[in-house]
């Protein structure tokens, strides 16, 4: 049975996600996660993103329309940044360093001008699932909810995408995302792995076998989709 705390979120999802994730919402770990989040908020802690946006990635990108997945670690942990879409910030919010590096790679890869904002909603609405492995975080504490139980749920999301017959490009950036590759068993998909787009990873790129800069994830994803008879992503922002 689904915990009452999750019932509104489940009801707000597209039907294809409700059918695929109903059992995941009913997992015992989701009961414990609901209790954890309620206790954290009751203690006065700021949790991001705001509660109505926790499952925004699933609402923007129905399972039946997923053509690519960009997997992040957890939401931004500063006020006003997190919007429930991995790597994305609302228009008007300062663009975080990792996202600036994503913009640079987009320009180098596809010849597109770097946008003056960090909102990636346009990608999500085209079928790019912007998923984090943990869907919440405490203010100022990156990774603080990594062990709260979210991984069991987001692994179920990845398995649901993997199980679909439609070919999907998975963009796995950084060690945390690349660990999820073992969940993706469908041979019809394409896994595009590289280092994380963070400045820290960029500083170590000379010693890396798979740096983010120059990895051309956007054009490679589209080449794969076209080869599989699927419409490419319009990466313009």
Segment 173-228, tens digit of pLDDT: 988 899 999 999 989 999 999 999 988 777 786 788 899 999 999 999 999 999 99
- pTM for the full model? 0.96
Residue with tokens 């999820």: 180
* Cα gap 46→37, rounded to integer Å: 10
- For residue 177, what is the enclosing H or E element? helix 175-178
Mean pLDDT over each residue of the chain, to the nearest integer: 95
In this prediction, residues 19-48 reach a mean pLDDT of: 96
pLDDT band, residue 127 (cuts 50/70/90):
very high
Domain locations in the chain?
4-228
Please tell me the predicted confidence (pLDDT) of residue 209. Answer: 85
Provide the Cα torsion 112, 91, 123, 236; round to 10°: -20
pLDDT given for residue 205 in this prediction: 67
3-state SS assignment for residue 69? strand
Mean pLDDT calculated for residue range 153-170: 97
Q: Which residues are catalytic?
A: 74
Q: Is domain 4-228 given the CATH code 2.60.40.3670 in the classification?
A: no
Angle between helices 150-163 and 28-42 in degrees, nearest 10? 130
What whole-number percentage of the chain has pLDDT above 90?
90
Mean pLDDT along residues 140-147: 94
């Amino acid at each position: 049975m689904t915990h009452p705390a999750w019932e509104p979120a489940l009801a707000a999802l597209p039907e294809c996600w409700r059918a695929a994730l109903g059992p995941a919402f009913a997992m015992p770990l989701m009961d414990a996660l609901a209790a954890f989040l309620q206790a954290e908020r009751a203690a006065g802690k700021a949790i991001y993103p705001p509660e109505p946006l926790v499952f925004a990635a699933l609402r923007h990108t129905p399972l039946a329309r997923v053509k690519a997945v960009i997997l992040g670690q957890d939401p931004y942990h500063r006020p006003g940044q997190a919007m429930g879409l991995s790597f994305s910030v609302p228009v008007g919010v300062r663009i975080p360093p990792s996202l600036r590096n994503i913009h640079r790679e987009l320009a180098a890869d596809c010849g597109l001008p770097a946008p003056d904002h960090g909102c990636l909603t346009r990608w999500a609405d085209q079928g790019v699932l912007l998923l984090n492995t943990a869907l919440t975080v405490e203010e100022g504490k990156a990774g603080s909810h990594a062990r709260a139980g979210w991984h069991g749920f987001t692994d179920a999301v990845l398995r649901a995408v993997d199980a679909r017959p439609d070919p999907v490009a998975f963009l796995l950036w950084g060690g945390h995302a690349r660990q999820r590759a073992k969940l993706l068993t469908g041979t019809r998909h394409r896994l595009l792995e590289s280092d994380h787009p963070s400045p820290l990873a960029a500083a170590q790129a000379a010693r890396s076998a798979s740096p983010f800069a120059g990895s051309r994830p956007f054009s490679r994803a589209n080449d794969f989709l076209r080869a599989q008879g699927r419409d490419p992503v319009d990466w313009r922002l």
